[in-house]
């Protein structure tokens, strides 16, 4: 191989934490050796000893890369593959393609966990977890229940959409509409996170029942956001939020409060 047509390549210092050379580093090492060779097959004297500290590898590694390339060049190959064969050793992967092809026939309620899927398609759990991490065959999704729409509901929605179409074919801007809806809010959550100092005590939070936490209903009114030219500022569309509550005096004395007379 002609070393004069080989493009120059700049090598960077390799981290000593890496155990093995990557494919790009091995190709870069080969390009550097070809530049130092005389006729593409013979290295100059002392080249391996000088390049070993530069690439932070042993002399044996450089020698193996060069011998592997020479064998391919002697066979008439223009390019040499000097990638490592370490990943090709060991037991070969078992082919589970037929098992994975049967996944679509398995009901979804049998595919909720790795354990249940393993029993359904007869594939080890460890193999399923490896395929899931690779992301080539398996993926995890979340399915939520949605309200069903009858033909009458769909017709009502279509009529409402058509009622907002202007004669010119464009939709109304809806700047004169206020949308009102009720919202439920829990007074607290079962589990909350706080940031405290090292010498601060954990706050005590009590509730009569963790399963039935009190809720408060609010009425919310919003409109379409717009720019207010009179106030010279942008209106975010939030109009108000009002709670549906009422206050009345205590009718009898309890541990929480005394009776009001």
DSSP state letters, 165-180 = B-TTSPBP--TT-EEE
Identify the pLDDT of residue 231: 86
Please indicate, yes or no, whether residues 129 and 196 belong to a single structural domain of this protein: no
Q: Quote the CA–CA distance of 44 and 106 in Å, as a whole number.
A: 64
Would you say the pTM of this structure is higher than 0.75?
Answer: no
Count of structural domains within the chain? 3
Task: Judge whether 156 lies within some domain.
Answer: no
Task: Judge whether 232 lies within some domain.
Answer: yes
Task: Judge whether 153 lies within some domain.
Answer: no
Q: Quote the CA–CA distance of 222 and 177 in Å, as a whole number.
A: 9
Q: Quote the CA–CA distance of 241 and 222 in Å, as a whole number.
A: 9
Please indicate, yes or no, whether residues 177 and 252 belong to a single structural domain of this protein: yes
Please indicate, yes or no, whether residues 257 and 188 belong to a single structural domain of this protein: yes
Please indicate, yes or no, whether residues 104 and 66 belong to a single structural domain of this protein: no
Helix (H, G, I), strand (E, B) or coil at 238: strand
Please indicate, yes or no, whether residues 248 and 189 belong to a single structural domain of this protein: yes
Task: Judge whether 147 lies within some domain.
Answer: no
pLDDT, tens digit (0-9, with 9 covering 90-100), for 151-202: 999 999 999 999 999 999 899 988 889 999 998 888 888 888 877 777 878 7
Whether the pLDDT of residue 101 is over 50: the answer is: yes
Please indicate, yes or no, whether residues 199 and 247 belong to a single structural domain of this protein: yes
Task: Judge whether 159 lies within some domain.
Answer: no
CA angle 227, 231, 235 (to 5 degrees): 35
Could you list the residue range(s) of the whole structural domain that residue 253 is in? Answer: 173-261
Task: Judge whether 33 lies within some domain.
Answer: yes
Whether the pLDDT of residue 213 is over 80: the answer is: yes
Task: Judge whether 223 lies within some domain.
Answer: yes
Task: Judge whether 12 lies within some domain.
Answer: no
């Amino acid at each position: 191989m002609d070393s004069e047509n080989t493009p120059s390549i700049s090598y960077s210092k390799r981290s000593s934490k890496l155990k093995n050379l990557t494919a790009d580093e091995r190709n870069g090492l080969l390009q550097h050796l070809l530049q130092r060779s005389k006729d593409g097959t013979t290295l100059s004297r002392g080249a391996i000893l000088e390049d070993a500290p530069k690439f932070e590898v042993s002399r044996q590694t450089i020698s193996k890369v060069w011998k592997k390339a020479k064998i391919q060049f002697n066979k008439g190959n223009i390019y040499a593959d000097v990638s490592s064969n370490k990943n090709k050793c060991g037991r070969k992967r078992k082919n589970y393609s037929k098992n994975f092809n049967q996944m679509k026939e398995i009901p979804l309620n049998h595919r909720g966990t790795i354990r249940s899927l393993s029993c359904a398609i007869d594939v080890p759990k460890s193999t399923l977890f490896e395929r899931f991490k690779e992301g080539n065959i398996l993926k995890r999704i979340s399915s939520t229940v949605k309200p069903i729409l009858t033909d009458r509901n769909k017709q009502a929605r279509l009529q409402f959409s058509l009622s907002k179409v202007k004669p010119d074919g464009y939709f109304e801007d809806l700047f004169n509409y206020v949308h009102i809806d009720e919202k439920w809010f829990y007074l607290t959550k079962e589990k909350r996170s706080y940031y405290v100092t090292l010498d601060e005590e954990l706050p005590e939070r009590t509730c009569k029942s963790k399963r039935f936490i009190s809720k408060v209903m609010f009425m919310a009114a919003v409109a379409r956001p717009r720019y207010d030219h009179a106030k010279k500022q942008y209106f975010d569309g939030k109009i108000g939020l009002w709670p549906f509550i009422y206050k009345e005096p205590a009718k009898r004395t309890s541990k929480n409060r005394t009776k009001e007379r």
